[in-house]
Amino acid sequence: MAKQPSVGAEISEQELVRRKDFLEFRDDDLANLASINEVARRYADSVIEDFYKHLLSFEESGAFFRDPQVLERVKRAQQEYFLRLTQGNYNLAYAENRLKIGAIHERIGLPVKAYLGMYNYYLRAVATRLAEAYQEAPEQARSGFLSLMKLTFLDIGLAIDTYINSRERTIREQQEAIQELPTPVLPFREGMLLVPIIGLIDSQRARFLTEQLLGAVRANRAKVVVMDITGVQAIDSKVGNHLVQTVEAARLMGAVVVLAGVSPEIAQTMVTVGIELGRMTTVGDLQSGIERAEELLGYTVTRTRTRSQVTQ
């Protein structure tokens, strides 16, 4: 049951049935497609030629097929595809193959609009050929064409799924990468550490942060840690408790934590959770945090230049 996950988007038997139902793709469509199969085979080559001439005549789409080897390969693959459309047996394997093809196009960066434009050209080209071939039996041309349209829309749906799936995967990976960015623990002055926290903190990140921080206290022999949460919008009670635990653990190692950038919302959360803010050293902004830390460590900062002297 385990399939190669290389495509990402997958489809189940039931889903395939559901989609065919929705497109009203039924047994008579199978018959129609079978009946135009011969004609389709005959015009395959010329449709391909016209098709690619059309593609290459446009700057944007032509760019993807500059390389003659690539073009040959793609033409052959496309021919196989077109022929396949009328060969019947539109089962799960068929659908999975479509997903794979969609993934390949998405990977080379072909935009959805080009993909759709290609299908559009193909359908129009086929409509013309069918009308020519079935001049004596226009009804057959029409029903063959409509069945073909249902099938190609099934294919388009699958192809677009792979595009969406790929986008979603990228977004997910980026989100994970952001979550995993280690919070820097920066030695600032001797005996001081600066920990700027940005973005969402969840329990896991908070725990990891505590580990990092405590390790840094030992490595840098820090006595004061300025933890800046200016960039944190809100925290829940679990994270609030983690913060308190961090402060307590640091104290066990002889260090004081100055919590800077506590917004009114976060202060409210902490009070609600029952965290005694009185026992923690909190300040409103980063500058105050650093100044407080410097004070504790016995540093005095003196300014000896005016603004204008800075860039002289």
By CB under 8 A, name the binding residues for another protein.
Answer: 210-211, 214-215, 217-218, 221, 223-224, 241, 244-245, 248-256, 274, 296
Q: Which is nearer to another protein, 23 or 297 (CB)?
A: 297
Q: Which is nearer to another protein, 267 or 296 (CB)?
A: 296
Q: β-strands 256-260, 192-198: how paired?
A: unpaired
User: Do 159 and 98 touch, CB atoms closer than 8 A?
Assistant: yes
Tell me the residue type at 190.
E
Least distance to another protein from the beta carbon of 184, Å?
Answer: 17
DSSP 127: H
Q: Which is nearer to another protein, 126 or 224 (CB)?
A: 224
Q: Which is nearer to another protein, 99 or 213 (CB)?
A: 213
Least distance to another protein from the beta carbon of 249, Å?
Answer: 4
Reference 222, options 191, 185, 194, 186; nearest CA is: 191
Least distance to another protein from the beta carbon of 241, Å?
Answer: 6
Least distance to another protein from the beta carbon of 208, Å?
Answer: 10
Least distance to another protein from the beta carbon of 224, Å?
Answer: 8
Q: Which is nearer to another protein, 42 or 218 (CB)?
A: 218
Q: Which is nearer to another protein, 199 or 274 (CB)?
A: 274
Least distance to another protein from the beta carbon of 233, Å?
Answer: 23
d(CA 36, CA 33) in angstroms, rounded, equals: 5
User: The tokens of 160 are what?
Assistant: 């677009």
Reference 282, options 274, 272, 292, 273; nearest CA is: 292
Between the two ends of the chain, the Cα-to-Cα distance in Å is 72
User: Do 48 and 129 touch, CB atoms closer than 8 A?
Assistant: no
Reference 212, options 197, 229, 233; nearest CA is: 197
